[in-house]
DNA sequence: CTTGTATATAACCATATAGTTATAATATTA
DNA sequence: TAATATTATAACTATATGGTTATATACAAG
């Protein structure tokens, strides 16, 4: 996963409400109307959070009658963790700097 | 690490520029004047990014003469990964919902 | 077909964010 | 001390974000 994609996924996670939603879904799938009383924010606010998490592929939705159940995408979450633990090598950037004589070699 | 603190740390990481800075520092410590030509943004912009990373304790600074070298705080980054991999248990929230008769038990 | 429940979307608002330029502060060097 | 280089801060701007209310859509049950 390149840094741009990783940053986008982290952005989806980098909000206290969405992060707790992910923690909740890690325990059990649930629907919007269950999340509303937990967070004390409006139903549209919860829907928007779910939409962001869905865009980041961190959750998947399944309609069951009038309810839409959201489940965590553990694969994706694992990918994010792995990407964070295995940051891309950037030596080439330092080589470029060296070529340009911009490398600061201190002491 | 509670979800609020984790969200704050993720926010610091959830930006393409800062994420790449972290990747660069993972290869080698460096100073602001080296980062400026890499990203092609202004020096104050880089300084602000470093300030955010420092606030999140993801980097530490060391002044060496006229330069300020920034190094990655691998411990902290590891903490973030671990926290993401071990999300807090939220069963109590579902128990509360059940008590309130708000749990949606579908099918 | 109408009513009620659940969810999504639209329009809006206040605040946060990532950049800019200008300037101040810190350290080196002549 | 004066001049130069590096970094940080201040003030500003445009855009993104997280919330709101109002409304539309989807499904279930009379």
pLDDT in tens, A77-105: 999 999 999 999 999 999 999 999 999 98
Look at residue A107 and tell me whether its pLDDT is greater than 60.
no
How close, in Å, is residue A85 to chain B by CA atoms?
7
The residue ranges of chain B whose pLDDT is under 50 are none
- Residue B44: phi and psi, rounded to 5, are -60, -35
How far does chain B reach from its first CA to its final CA, in angstroms?
A: 36
| CATH code of the domain containing A90 | 1.10.10.10
In a domain, B78, yes or no: yes
Angle ∠(B29,B33,B37) on CA atoms, nearest 5: 100
Q: What is the crossing angle of helices A16-27 and B3-13, to 10°?
A: 120
- Asked if residue B106 is part of any domain, the answer here is no
Residue B107 maps to a domain: no
Distance A18 CA to C5 C1' (A): 25
Q: Does residue A107 belong to any structural domain of this protein?
A: no
Q: Is residue A106 part of a domain?
A: no
A35 reaches B (C-beta below 8 A): no
| pLDDT on residue B105 | 83
- Using CA coordinates, name the residue in chain A closest to B84: A81
| DSSP assignment string, A9-22 | HHHHH-SHHHHHHH
Mean pLDDT throughout A3-13?
Answer: 97
Mean pLDDT, chain A, rounded, equals 96
Tell me which chain B residues have a C-beta less than 8 angstroms from the C-beta of A5.
none
Q: What is the CA radius of gyration of chain A?
A: 19
User: Is B38 among the domain residues?
Assistant: yes
Q: Give the gap in angstroms from C-alpha B93 to the nearest C-alpha of chain A.
A: 7
Interchain contact, A106 vs B20, CB within 8 Å: no
> CA-based angle A56:A59:A65, to the nearest 5?
130
Whether the CB of A68 is below 8 Å from some CB of chain B: the reply is: no
- Mean pLDDT, residues A9-30 taken together: 98
CB B92 within 8 A of CB A26: no
Question: Does the residue B82 lie in any domain?
Answer: yes
C-alpha–C-alpha distance, residues B7 and A34, integer Å: 22
Protein-covered nucleotides of chain D (CB closer than 7 Å) are 5-11, 17-23, 26-28
- Residue A105: its pLDDT value, please? 83
Q: For residue A49, count other CB atoms closer than 10 A to its CB.
A: 22
Range of the domain at A14: 3-99
- Give, in Å, how far the C1' of D27 lies from the CA of B39: 51
What pLDDT score does B107 carry?
Answer: 55
Write out residues 73-102 of A within 8 Å (CB-CB) of B. Answer: 77, 80-81, 84-85, 87-91, 93-94, 96-97, 100, 102
Q: How far, in Å, CA of B15 to CA of A8, rounded?
A: 8
- pLDDT tens by residue, B4-19: 999 999 999 999 999 9
**Please, which residues have CB within 8 angstroms of residue A105's CB and are 6 or more apart in sequence?**
none
Q: In chain B, which residues have their Cβ closer than 8 Å to the Cβ of A71?
A: none
For residue A92, what pLDDT is reported? 97
Beta-bridged to residue B83, according to DSSP, are none
Number of domains in chain B: 1
B14 vs A11: CA distance, rounded Å: 5
Distance CA A21, CA A19 (A): 5
- Going A98 to B63 to B33 to B55, the CA torsion angle's sign is positive
B28 vs B70: CA distance, rounded Å:
9
Look at residue B106 in the predicted model and tell me its pLDDT: 66
């Amino acid at each position: 996963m390149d840094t741009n994609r990783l940053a986008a996924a982290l952005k989806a996670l980098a909000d206290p409400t969405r992060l707790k939603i992910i923690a909740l879904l890690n325990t059990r799938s649930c629907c919007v109307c269950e999340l509303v009383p937990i967070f004390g924010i409006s139903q549209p606010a919860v829907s928007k959070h779910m939409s962001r998490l869905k865009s980041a592929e961190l959750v998947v939705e399944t309609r069951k009658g009038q309810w839409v159940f959201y489940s965590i995408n553990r694969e994706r979450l694992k990918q994010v963790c792995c990407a964070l633990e295995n940051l891309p090598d950037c030596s080439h950037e330092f080589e470029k700097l060296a070529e340009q004589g911009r490398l600061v070699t201190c002491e």
